Amino acid sequence: MIKKIILGVVLVLVVAVGLLLLAQVQGHEGYFSPVYSPDGSEVYFIARESRGLVAGLGIENFTPPAYVFVWHDRFSLRKLDPAAGSVEILKSWPASPLEDKYMRTYRGRPFSSPSTQLRWVDERNLEYRIGIRIRTQPVSERYFVSRTWNNLTNEMVEKDEWNQEWLAISGGSEPALSGDWEIIAARGEEAFPCAIVALHSSSAEVRVLLKNEECERVYPDGVRPSDVEQYSRRADIERIQEFTGARERLTAEALAAGMTAYEASLHVTRGMRELGHYATPPNWSPVC
C-alpha cells in the first residue's frame, strides 16, 4: 500500500513538473478587420493585445486542452496613415471579459479567436462589432460589444460596454477595396494577424503597411502574394457590387418610365435575368 501511495505521489509530481516545463508566458498583438477610410487615404483596424500563461500540451485531437490564464486582454480602434507610417489609437475598450479568466483550450488559439467587423455607415460613422468566447464547461460564455464611432467628433454614438450574449457577424469588413488595392490582415501566430498588407489586383504586388515582431518569424522572407491571396475577397465584393448596381440601375429606369410598383418589379426581374444575375426558368422569354 505504501509503495502504491509513493508511486502515486511520484506520478503526480512527474505530471506537475511536465506541465511546468510546458508552461509558457505568451504575449501577442494582432490586427483585425482592416478597412479603408471612405476616401481611401487611411486604414482603420481593430488591434488586440493579450498576455497570459499557457501550460500543457494542448494538441487538438491528441491531448487534453492546455491550461490557460489570461491576465491582459484589450481591444482598441486604431487609424493607420500609410503615407506617414503612423498609427493613432482612436478608442480603447474596457478590459475584455477574457481578462483575469482561467480556461481550458487548445494551442493555436489559446486566448480564443475573436469575431470582428468594421463597416462605414457613412463618411462620418464607423460601425464596429467585436465578439469573444470564454471556453467554460458545460457551456461557453459569449460576449460582444457593438456601437458606432464618429470619426469627426471622436465620440461614441451610445454608451460602450461588453454584453453577455452573442452577436452574429455576417459578411466581411468594408470597404476592403480602394481602386486596384485590397487591404488584408496577414495570418500570424496563435490566431493573431501579424500584419496589414495591401494587395494589387493586377500586378500581385504586396505592400506591408504595418507589421509586428512576430511577422519576422512567420514570414522570414517577407509577405509574398501567395501568403495572402487566399484571403482575398475582391472577386466576391466586385460580384456583389455588380449585382447591386444592376438592380439600382433597372429600378431607376422603371421609376423614370413611370411604371407602377408591379411593373417595376417585373422590369427589374426581367433585366436581372437577362444579365445573368437571376436564374432563368425553363421556357422563359424576355419578351412579355
Annotated domain spans of the chain: 23-223, 241-274
Q: Classify residue 5 as exposed, middle or buried by CB count within 10 Å of its CB (0-12, 13-18, 19+).
A: exposed
Residue 82 is predicted with a pLDDT of 92
Helix residue ranges per DSSP H, 185-284: 214-218, 225-228, 234-256, 261-274
Residue 51 is predicted with a pLDDT of 94
Q: Classify residue 27 as exposed, middle or buried by CB count within 10 Å of its CB (0-12, 13-18, 19+).
A: exposed
Q: What are phi and psi of 243, to 5 degrees?
A: -60, -50
Residue 72 is predicted with a pLDDT of 95
Walk along the chain (288 residues) and give the pLDDT tens digit of each residue. 665 455 554 454 444 544 544 678 889 999 999 999 999 999 999 999 999 999 888 777 788 888 899 999 999 999 999 988 899 999 888 899 999 988 888 888 888 889 999 999 888 889 999 988 887 766 778 888 888 877 776 665 555 678 887 777 777 899 999 999 999 999 999 899 999 999 999 999 999 999 999 999 999 999 999 999 999 999 999 999 899 999 999 999 998 999 988 888 999 999 888 888 888 777 656 554
Helix (H) or strand (E) run with residue 197 in it: strand 195-200
pTM of the model: 0.82
First to last CA, the chain: 93
104 neighbors 67 (Cβ within 8 angstroms): yes
Residue 70 is predicted with a pLDDT of 93
Residue 37, CA distances (Å) to 114, 121, 146, 150, 239 in order: 23, 11, 19, 12, 21
Q: What are phi and psi of 34, to 5 degrees?
A: -70, 140
Residue 129 carries which side chain, given as an amino acid letter?
R
Residue 146 is predicted with a pLDDT of 82
